[in-house]
A = this chain, B = another copy of it.
């Protein structure tokens, strides 16, 4: 807040509006005019503050990923046992995504459109790595806490189970013949159902 002169945090308003529009419509579907309208300002301001659609988009994209990264670190770089991490992560992540429903699909979609964006998010300070998690799985398998399983496959399984329903929401709603309310209930159930499902499978 409290920028110089008469600037009523226009830059922030633009970013907020751009987040909304880009996350719902993607880079290709978004229109600069629509973002300006959503922010309640003149279209020229978008260029004044962010130069181009591309740069505005990148601001939104890196911002979005920096919200997601700490969530992933909860499963990858926390010190507790795998079982506890799975329980915590699943519960937390689903709560988190219910508040930011467009986030995962946005990131995945734009990464598909331009895989080079991955480099951009890798520069993020909190960028998560798999090393620790892989070692920990191997260790707990060794100690016979877990059944034999490949750490990478387990990681894929965990994020698949947690993220996919939020990426494929319309598909799930369609097959299950449920509305928004039913979907939310189903996702609430998953906060425990998913971790149970995983633990059941891997715990010795």
- Using Cβ atoms and an 8 Å threshold, which residues of chain B touch A173? 115, 118
- Using Cβ atoms and an 8 Å threshold, which residues of chain B touch A155? 175-176
Copies of this chain in its oligomeric complex = 2
B28 touches A176 (CB 8 A): no
Q: How big is chain A's contact interface, by range? A: 35 or more
A29 touches B152 (CB 8 A): no
> Scoring A residues 134 to 169 as 1 if CB is less than 8 Å from chain B, else 0, what string do you get?
000000000000010110110111011101110111
A-side residues, CB < 8 A to B, are 25-26, 28-29, 105, 107-109, 111-113, 115, 118, 122, 128, 130, 147, 149-150, 152-153, 155-157, 159-161, 163-165, 167-177, 186, 189-190, 193-194, 197-198, 200-202
